[in-house]
Amino acid sequence: MNDNEMIPASDEELFKQPPPKEDCPICFLMMPSLATGHHYRACCGKVLCGGCVYAAARRNGGRRGLCPFCRTPAPTSEKEANKLEKKRIEKNDAVAFFNLGCCYAKGARGLQDHAKARELWQQAGELGHAESYHNIGNAYLDGRGVEKDMKKARYYWVLAAMVGDVLARHNLGIFEKRAGNMERALKHLMISARGNRRSPEAIKQLYKTGHATKDDYAKALRLYQAYLDEVKSDQRDEAAAYSDVYKYY
């Protein structure tokens, strides 16, 4: 199988601008791209920004306490947490599939099974969860529970990038750069610059080697700054200063 057969989309589809990220349902600011910038609540199936989760915990004296959105008490045991997650899975909640897959991959909550993790991530991806496809790609990249396979890693990064995962999009840019496809690398990195702080730096390196222009680099910096302007807030900064659990850029 050649490389082109491992791309599940035409270039027109591949290089489309991804769909915009959803807003936090409490503060109504755009959700950050970084994984620690958003937090899932299985009680109501809502994804909340770290700033709002931190603010609620602070009001509760540092304890998780009630869900900031639906006011349901936080689970008190791994068994209860798994039960909540599985209830959400019964409702085809993509994030619940993703989270449970992460538990199986990391050995959390008494769960450990890489094949099961990939199965859950595949289901989440089919429901539109971009990070799930990214994780499958990384599993093939690192050989976690499977044989290393760069073509399959790239395949799943493409699926993730098309649904809006900027980390997978950045990976594709680096992949194309290493393959000598500088024009394609620049296209990927320019898209991922709106959400990934490493992408403008990668474009800077392309500029230094004559494969991008100064204007390209300046545009990438503007795109990343525009992203920051949309996701930054005093509350999120306070949360990130308190703990890396809430880091959002």
Question: Residue 204 falls within a domain, yes or no?
Answer: yes
Check residue 1 and give its pLDDT: 37
Is there a contact between 157 and 134 (Cβ–Cβ < 8 Å)?
yes
Strand pairing partners for 48? 39
Number of structural domains found in the chain: 1
40 phi, psi to nearest 5 deg: -90, 145
176 phi, psi to nearest 5 deg: -65, -35
Question: Residue 56 falls within a domain, yes or no?
Answer: no
Could you tell me the residue range of the domain that residue 216 belongs to? 165-231
Check residue 5 and give its pLDDT: 55
Question: Residue 181 falls within a domain, yes or no?
Answer: yes
Predicted confidence (pLDDT) at residue 101 exceeds the cutoff of 90: yes
Question: Residue 176 falls within a domain, yes or no?
Answer: yes
- Locate 249 and state its tokens: 């850029």
Question: Residue 113 falls within a domain, yes or no?
Answer: no
- Measuring CA to CA, how many Å separate 192 from each of 69, 154, 174, 188, 189? 30, 16, 11, 6, 5
Sign of CA dihedral 7, 11, 12, 17: positive
Question: Residue 67 falls within a domain, yes or no?
Answer: no
Is there a contact between 16 and 191 (Cβ–Cβ < 8 Å)?
no
Q: How many Cα atoms occupy the beta-carbon half-sphere of 144 within 13 Å?
A: 19
Question: Residue 39 falls within a domain, yes or no?
Answer: no
Check residue 64 and give its pLDDT: 67
Averaged confidence pLDDT in the chain: 93
Check residue 195 and give its pLDDT: 96
Q: What is the pLDDT of residues 113-162, one digit of tens each?
A: 999 999 999 999 999 999 999 999 999 999 999 999 999 999 999 999 99
Q: How far apart are CA 190 and CA 105, in angstroms?
A: 31
Q: What is the pLDDT of residues 43-77, one digit of tens each?
A: 999 999 999 999 999 887 766 678 999 999 989 89
Strand pairing partners for 47? 40
Check residue 4 and give its pLDDT: 53
Question: Residue 46 falls within a domain, yes or no?
Answer: no
Q: Please give the helix or strand (H or E) that residue 188 lies within, else none.
A: helix 182-192
Residues counted in the chain: 249
